[in-house]
Chains A and B, each alone.
Chain A
């Protein structure tokens, strides 16, 4: 879980959690702890006081790659339920603006509930389709945590139960390409975006990035993450991807003991 230091100091939150019998193990990521707790985190006082956000460690990685700074104007194009959005607002010390967008109204409800629970004041919530987000202003940084097949979550729970469901009819790479292209167009010159998914499927990762590199003058940037990672791949089952995809990072559950993730940093030239 992530400690939210908006209403209280990290020390106060840790003391409260320990007083409720929660065992905490620190991680390489600031404010993130692996926790041992009987039952759901929602039964804790700290949850109802808006002092914690239950979240996997890997979901911090796209935010750390984006590195939002105080004063930035940031867009989270697929924001709900708000874990990464609120993490960005916390890193920005609530200075600057985070625009949190999602296309599904039911998910917007979860997003606004989480923003309210954590007491954050610098987030604006919008309700647009990601690929049609209005081109009204240039953002400093944009997070595209795209809808994906979620293969990285297959190893969830102590028994590693599979969440795989067959028969998906949605063309996810087409949706992801549309969203990523629009995100790139929404960046100001010199701005940066992060494209992330929680899947291993190269079609949804390097394939989408290669599409963007073919359509726009984008630059893939390297990144030194706080968890063990592998390079992006440049070929899979006979399909070749842009060599710049090597600079992306793949996070595998057996190496990180968390959800699998793909993270790519992309810059728009000045």
Chain B
């Protein structure tokens, strides 16, 4: 079981604990895992949440070959004929690992939403 805490931009996911109320008086800098972020009125899953809970997703997953994922990181977007995804945020998967999110736009176009550190790392591997 989890609880959710919100700030103006982020929603955090915290493992539920009976003892949590004891800690209410502390000034908390971060509680649990950043789960969603508000982006232009939409909710975007964070990379951390995608990696942690993406395995449970039943749809809106785009499977890429590792070289396609590298190209997505370097070029910012890739095109292809992916089935079973609605327009909006999707999970990016290679083999059995979810890496984070992409933005699925017109049919066949995915825009990279992975963090800069990961983009730099993938760019270095090319």
| Chain A residues packing against B (C-beta within 8 Å) | 6-7, 12, 16, 42-43, 45, 48-50, 71, 73, 94-97, 99, 108, 112, 115-117, 119-128, 134, 136-137
In the complex, B65 has a CB within 8 A of chain A: no
A112 to B32, CA, bound (A): 10
Contact assessment for B33 and A120 in the assembled complex, using a CB-CB cutoff below 8 Å: yes
In the complex, B27 has a CB within 8 A of chain A: yes
A127 and B29 contact, Cβ closer than 8 Å, known pairs A49-B97, A137-B22: yes
Complex contacts, B46 vs chain A, CB 8 Å: 116
User: Interface residues of B toward A: which range?
Assistant: 20 to 34
Contact assessment for B2 and A121 in the assembled complex, using a CB-CB cutoff below 8 Å: yes
In the complex, B59 has a CB within 8 A of chain A: no
Name B1-35 residues within 8 Å CB distance of A: 2, 13-15, 17, 19-20, 22-23, 25-34
Interface of B is mostly: mixed
In the complex, B48 has a CB within 8 A of chain A: yes
Inter-chain residue pair count (beta carbon < 8 A): 95
In the complex, B52 has a CB within 8 A of chain A: yes
Contact assessment for A116 and B33 in the assembled complex, using a CB-CB cutoff below 8 Å: yes
A-B contacts, 15 listed (Cβ < 8 Å): A12-B96, A43-B124, A48-B118, A50-B51, A73-B23, A119-B48, A119-B49, A121-B52, A124-B14, A124-B26, A124-B31, A125-B30, A125-B31, A136-B26, A137-B23
A71 to B17, CA, bound (A): 8
A94 and B15 contact, Cβ closer than 8 Å, known pairs A117-B48, A119-B48, A120-B33: yes
Complex contacts, B52 vs chain A, CB 8 Å: 6-7, 50, 119, 121
A112 to B30, CA, bound (A): 7
Contact assessment for A121 and B51 in the assembled complex, using a CB-CB cutoff below 8 Å: no
Complex contacts, A125 vs chain B, CB 8 Å: 28-31
Complex contacts, A127 vs chain B, CB 8 Å: 27, 29
Name B47-63 residues within 8 Å CB distance of A: 48-49, 51-52, 55
Top 6 A-B residue pairs of the complex, sorted by shortest distance between their CB atoms:
A119-B52, A122-B15, A125-B30, A125-B29, A137-B22, A121-B15
Complex contacts, B96 vs chain A, CB 8 Å: 12
Complex contacts, A108 vs chain B, CB 8 Å: 29
A7 and B51 contact, Cβ closer than 8 Å, known pairs A94-B15, A97-B20: yes
Complex contacts, A6 vs chain B, CB 8 Å: 52
Rounded to whole Å, the gap between the CB of B115 and the closest CB of chain A is 9
Residue of A nearest to B97 (CB): A49
Question: With contacts A42-B121, A134-B25 known, what are 15 further pairs, Cβ within 8 A?
Answer: A7-B51, A7-B52, A16-B97, A43-B121, A49-B51, A116-B34, A122-B17, A124-B26, A125-B30, A126-B27, A126-B28, A127-B27, A136-B22, A136-B25, A137-B25
Contact assessment for A126 and B29 in the assembled complex, using a CB-CB cutoff below 8 Å: yes
A183 to B94, CA, bound (A): 45
A73 to B14, CA, bound (A): 14
